[in-house]
Amino acid sequence: MFTGIITDVGSIRSLKQLGDLRIEIATAYDLCLVAIGASIACNGVCLTVVEKTTDSFVVNVSAESVALANIGDWHLDAPINLERALKVGDELGGHIVSGHVDGMAKIVAMQDEGDSTRVTLRAPDALAKFIAPKGSVALNGTSLTVNEVNGADFGINFIPHTKAVTTWGESKLGDRVNLEIDTLARYVARLQDWT
């Protein structure tokens, strides 16, 4: 489990297709404190550390994850939002995020408003019903509040701090973004299917 509060922006050091996709990610984390087998959310995708060096870790990514997430857009030196797994007693500054990406949204509009940036994204039709005004979503692993919803389109406002400490300051029109819907919305919908 994660909170959607990004704690480092890493970068892709290597990508190799060896059965599964093998990715090495450079990080500022103290990797002495990261165990082999630990989970790290990489742009919102929960991945398992299988190797590490003094300043990078390696993950294997299944075809399922590549198909559902924007991993196919990753390239050498690409910045990646990182978050270590939540520990009991940690502050829950965002919302409960599983790291199980549901699909990809696409940035369809961007407009600066003062120092902030308002971004409109388009969700896949099958996921749009789970996104509500003032609800939470995880986008590229970042816990964010939805401002407004219009069909499959929804708006997010990025404050300067978020743009400075995540990859959101480098976003552009047309980017594909990893989308994880709110866990509560998922279970409410499932319960409604049973009634």
- Per-residue pLDDT of 56-105, as tens digits, reads 999 999 999 999 999 999 999 999 999 999 888 888 788 889 999 999 99
One domain, residues 111 and 62: no
Spatial CA neighbour of 184 closest among 132, 146, 141: 132
Q: What's at 39, amino acid-wise? A: S
Q: How many structural domains comprise the chain?
A: 2
pTM beyond cutoff 0.75: yes
Burial state string for 128-145 with b = 16 or more CB within 10 A and e = fewer than 16: bebbeeebbbbbbbbbbe
Q: Does residue 121 lie within any of the structural domains?
A: yes
Is residue 3 situated within a structural domain? no
pLDDT at position 174, please? 98
Mean pLDDT of the chain: 94
Per-residue model confidence as pLDDT tens for the chain (195 residues): 999 999 999 999 999 998 899 999 999 999 999 999 999 999 999 999 999 999 999 999 999 999 999 999 999 999 999 999 988 888 878 888 999 999 999 999 999 999 999 999 999 999 999 999 999 999 999 999 999 999 999 999 999 999 999 999 999 999 999 999 988 777 777 777 666
Q: For position 61, what pLDDT does the model report? A: 97
* CATH code for position 43: 2.40.30.20
Rg (CA), the chain: 16
Joined tokens for residue 185 = 């919305």
CA 91 to chain centre: 19
Closest CA to 175 of 79, 62, 65, 48: 79
Give residue 119's pLDDT: 98
Give the structural domain span for 37: 8-84
